[in-house]
Amino acid sequence: MREGHIAVVGTGYVGLTTGAALASLGHRVVCADADPHKVARLRRAEVDILEPGLPGLVREGLDSGLLEFGQDTPAAVTGAGVVFLCLPTPMGAGGAADLAAVEAVAAEIRAVLPAGCAVVNKSTVPVGTSERVAALIGRPDVHVVSNPEFLREGHAVHDFLHPDRVVVGAADREAGRRVAELYAPLGAPLVLTDPASAELTKYAANFFLAMKLSFANNLAAVCERFGADIGDVTTGLGHDPRVGAAFLQPGPGWGGSCLPKDTHALLSICEQAGVEFPLLRATIETNVEHQRQLVDRVAAGCAGPDGTLRGVRLALLGLAFKAGTSDLRDSPALAIARALRARGAELYAYDPALCETRPDLSDLLTLTDDPAEAVTGAAACLVLTEWPEFRELDWTRLAGLLDGRLVHDFRNILDPARLEAAGLSWQGIGRTAALTT
């Protein structure tokens, strides 16, 4: 390994995208992961993550010789000028971020880090983690830098190579500038700050996005009450540059790999610091309540004679937390599925991204490879992920397979007129068929 290379520890969404993208910019990158099976597949350019452009970027890096993969983390970081920690920080007890993986790697590599090396926290971590990692490494000649990621699943490669900002937090200004220089070819605005500010920026960004989604879902309920159209209302809001159109689309609640754990982690560190943050708490509670109301809506439309969903078959279209990914982590679709199952419903589901990966969800639902199989005999159909192909389904054929007539479009992606022409009853969120046809 050449001296001064970049090491990336962890090859999940963030780590693999970071490593492959930096290699595409001309840097020599060594990615380390503890999973030998994953390392072997990546060495063959076999990427298990559903992420547009990432397999090609990995293949290009391998072919150029600028990208390597290994299982030995200490060997990967030996001689590195910059080491990115891209490790999982899942929600732990009480909502706090679990830093076990970050701490374990910091302890593992501290003795082999070269003098002057910058260790970069790329993972989403609580305020104060840079100091914590620096203490674990215990090397005054090694600098810990915070460089949070702002990658959207399904757009991670694009977001890395076309960032709207780069945030770098460092107690040592020179180490911070060295990390910032890696992104210089991208021409993005740079925020060079202290570690605590950088760490908090990531949490603040995800909380604000979650707040907008909770706001949109609440606003949709208001629209339904007064016969307004949520699409028109949010379009009117989105044209205001102070508001912006992003994250104003109502849905089955927010979820995924970031927003739930990051909002809970921020709430946890605020509670530990004695800081009241009622808006954050309300954002989380609103999400839970919104999902409960959607489940109540489904139950009201197809409950059995006993008033429950016991034995009622329901079809779920989409399980991933959003289109463009196969990620099921904290998926709102699964949250709603669990609530329906708890009320006795029998669930059959289809998601185009899961036909190959086939995750084991047998304790919750029956996963099918065909939307027709999922809807056959169902009392109602729920659209839970905004896959574009759901718009193009043969709804006339599906109507003949459904027992019931009701389609709950919890993503507002279907054409109500088309469904009604097929003899189905369409229900969106914050919209009525009359307003959308």
Could you list the active site residues?
258
Cα–Cα distance measured from residue 97 to residue 260, given in angstroms and rounded to the nearest whole number? 11
Cα–Cα distance measured from residue 123 to residue 8, given in angstroms and rounded to the nearest whole number? 11
Tokens of 296: 């109540």
**Sign, Cα dihedral of 388, 394, 399, 403:** negative
Cα–Cα distance measured from residue 57 to residue 326, given in angstroms and rounded to the nearest whole number? 19
Cα–Cα distance measured from residue 11 to residue 8, given in angstroms and rounded to the nearest whole number? 8
Write the single-letter amino acid at 290: H
Cα–Cα distance measured from residue 351 to residue 337, given in angstroms and rounded to the nearest whole number? 13
Question: Phi-psi category of 363—alpha, beta or left, where left has phi over 0 and alpha has psi -120 to 50?
Answer: alpha
Q: Which helix (H) or strand (E) holds 152?
A: none
Residues in the chain: 437
CA-based nearest residue to 352, from 335, 341, 337, 367: 367
DSSP string, 278-338: HHHHHHHHHHHHHHHHHHHHHHHHH--TTSS-TT-EEEEE--SSSTT----TT-HHHHHHH
Q: Which helix (H) or strand (E) holds 83?
A: strand 82-85
State the virtual CA torsion across 293, 298, 304, 307 in degrees, nearest 10: 10
- Letter string b/e over residues 103-128, b meaning 16 or more CB atoms within 10 A of that residue's CB: eebbeebbeebbeebbbbbbbbbbbe
CA-based nearest residue to 196, from 127, 118, 265, 266: 127
| Contacting residues for 391 by C-beta, under 8 A, at least 6 apart | 413, 414, 415
